[in-house]
Amino acid sequence: MKRSLFAALAAGAFLALSAVQVAAQTEADQLKNLKPAKYVFLFIGDGMSLPQRMMAEEFSRSTTGKGLTINAMPQQSYSKTSSASNFITDSAASGTAIACGEKTNNGRIGMDAEGKKNLESVAEVAKKNGRAIGILTSITINHATPASFYAHNVSRDNYYDIGLDLVKSGFEYFGGGGLQGNRSGDNDIYKIAEKAGYTVAYKDEVPKVDLKKADKLFVRGHNGQLPYAIDKPADEWGLAEYTQQCIDFLMLKNKPFFVMVEGGNIDHHGHSNDAGSSLRETMEMDRAVSVIMDFAKKHPNDTLVVVTGDHETGGLTLGFANTQYESSIYLLGNQKCSSDEFKNKVNRLADSILGPRRFGPPGRNNNNQNNQDNAEEKTIKFDDIKPLITENFGLVFDNQEAPRGNNANVNLRSADNNARRKLNLVLSKSEQDRIEEAFNRQFPNGKRAGGGGDAVANTVVAIFDNKCSVGWTSGAHTALPVDTSAYGVNSNVFYGMYENSDIAKKLKAIVSVPVK
Ligand SMILES: [Zn+2]
């Protein structure tokens, strides 16, 4: 009896081992038997894990009847995101892992954990193999994620040197947001890029660039990042338009290519715990993926599309204590602007009531003294700010139509949609008290507080998200694995659960296969 149990355990252990070996063998075989993929695309949603994808999916499905393109991709797998130094990665270490295939410390760009050795990125391998390269992002182009594909620096904060690496890379297309940490005069990186043969274009010039005449392109919609998707004017180019321009340009090169597109601001709205802005950023990146899926349908035997995230941000959960089994993610559609823009709106309203903000100590300038004295008498009241909150979030104060108080005793299931919408957005007494308390912190005695905090906007967005059945647990990143999706040639190698550094290993092997 004992002996047969031991034998069974030993056999089990042997079987388990051989299963791992078989998996490793299968993967090695797959990477050996890769097909030529002429056009390779990698999308990275910064701060995008499954909750972000599922929130955008549910919002999109309930408002347009259609889910996300990225969630419908045939190959879905999981990537672990930890860095060499931390269980919770930053964007530099995860960008480097995804770009170069090696885990490094938080903060490093394209360098090993010790900060001694440069790591080669998939974009650099692709270039060596005769491919044209495109790097695009909605945030600044020398920020950690895009930088990991062309730069090598011990610190992500060395923006200027990273910008110089951008020019040195000689990659064919850089597009989306502009540089941060640039310098002026002869040290202006845009000028250095022009001298190195780049056609540099800004704002309205970008759509007018003659793609046939340009050798390499460095185009930006703004000097910093592109506007948030939720705030972006409809006629302004977003990630999808830059992606279209990039492939139009690279197709003229008659070369195979590798393109990385980053949806950079999903992360930012995760840090600010702003669900309505986050999901629109995910949908904006999904729109760019759709551009490539249309391209892929025209080149079905030549195209690989991979979509991943670099980490989760915010500890997003789809469900909140009070909402129980009701989901109201569609209510996030009531949000009209980002929390950052709402902070500006609150301050502009305060300026219109209290007069413009004073800088420096009072009484320095006698000419202004009278105006300031008048301004000092004015005060802003909680009632002044309520219409702004209702207008931008649909939140209802002192409701006359629906019963005031918590919604818990209302049968939501039997209420029709309009009634549910109103009931869910009616502020309870305690929620109104929280906003009023925040107002009194930001505007004590109806005046501006010295610190100039944004308590009103932060509190309104927190309450609004919870009423829309969304919760957050962190203002930073979390260690949740991310979804890695793939479509097209060699997409079968993206399966199972693996380290984010394996993405680069797979992609490096793929871009190294010669293309006729
Ligand atoms: Zn972040």
Model pLDDT for residues 214-238, shown as the tens digit of each residue: 999 999 999 999 999 999 999 999 9
For 163-241, list the strands marked E by DSSP: 173-176, 198-202, 216-220
Q: Which residues neighbour ligand 1 (ion) by CB within 5 Å? A: 267
**How many A from CA of 110 to the centre of ligand 1?**
18
User: Given this model, what pLDDT does residue 206 score?
Assistant: 98
Amino acid at 321: A
Range with the lowest mean pLDDT among 76-90, 92-106, 142-156, 319-333?
A: 319-333
User: Given this model, what pLDDT does residue 18 score?
Assistant: 65
Going across the sheet that includes 75-80, the strands are: 198-202, 216-220, 173-176, 132-137, 257-263, 39-45, 303-309, 482-488, 75-80, 497-499
Structure token digits, residue 114 = 């010790």
Confidence tier at 17 by pLDDT (50, 70, 90): low
User: Given this model, what pLDDT does residue 357 score?
Assistant: 78
**How many A from CA of 312 to the centre of ligand 1?**
8
DSSP assigned state of 206? G
**Average pLDDT in the 434-451 region?**
92
User: Exactly one of 49, 60, 91, 169 is catalytic; which is it?
Assistant: 91
CB atoms within 10 A of CB 366: 7
Each residue of 187-211: pLDDT tens digit?
A: 999 999 999 999 999 999 999 999 9
Q: What's the CA angle centered on 352, arms 346 and 358, to 5 degrees?
A: 90
Each residue of 359-383: pLDDT tens digit?
A: 655 544 444 444 444 555 799 999 9
Confidence tier at 9 by pLDDT (50, 70, 90): low
**How many A from CA of 90 to the centre of ligand 1?**
6
**Average pLDDT in the 413-435 region?**
76
Residue 9, classed as helix, strand or coil, is: helix
**How many A from CA of 57 to the centre of ligand 1?**
22
In the predicted model, what is the mean pLDDT of the chain? 90
**How many A from CA of 433 to the centre of ligand 1?**
32
**Residue 11 pLDDT more than 60?**
no
List Cβ neighbours of 287 (8 Å cut-off, separation of 6 or more): 238, 239, 240
**Residue 433 pLDDT more than 70?**
yes
Each residue of 82-125: pLDDT tens digit?
A: 999 999 999 999 999 999 999 999 999 999 999 999 999 999 99
Assess whether 469 carries a catalytic annotation.
no
User: Given this model, what pLDDT does residue 449 score?
Assistant: 85
**How many A from CA of 46 to the centre of ligand 1?**
7
The domain segmentation of the chain, as residue ranges, is 35-316+475-511, 321-360+374-471
CB 217 within 8 A of CB 172: yes
User: Given this model, what pLDDT does residue 377 score?
Assistant: 78
**How many A from CA of 478 to the centre of ligand 1?**
10
Q: What is the dihedral of CA 164, 221, 123, 244, to 10 degrees?
A: -160
**Residue 403 pLDDT more than 50?**
no
**Average pLDDT in the 171-182 region?**
98
**How many A from CA of 492 to the centre of ligand 1?**
30
CATH architecture of 35-316+475-511: 3-Layer(aba) Sandwich (3.40)
To the question of pTM greater than 0.85 for the whole model, the response is yes
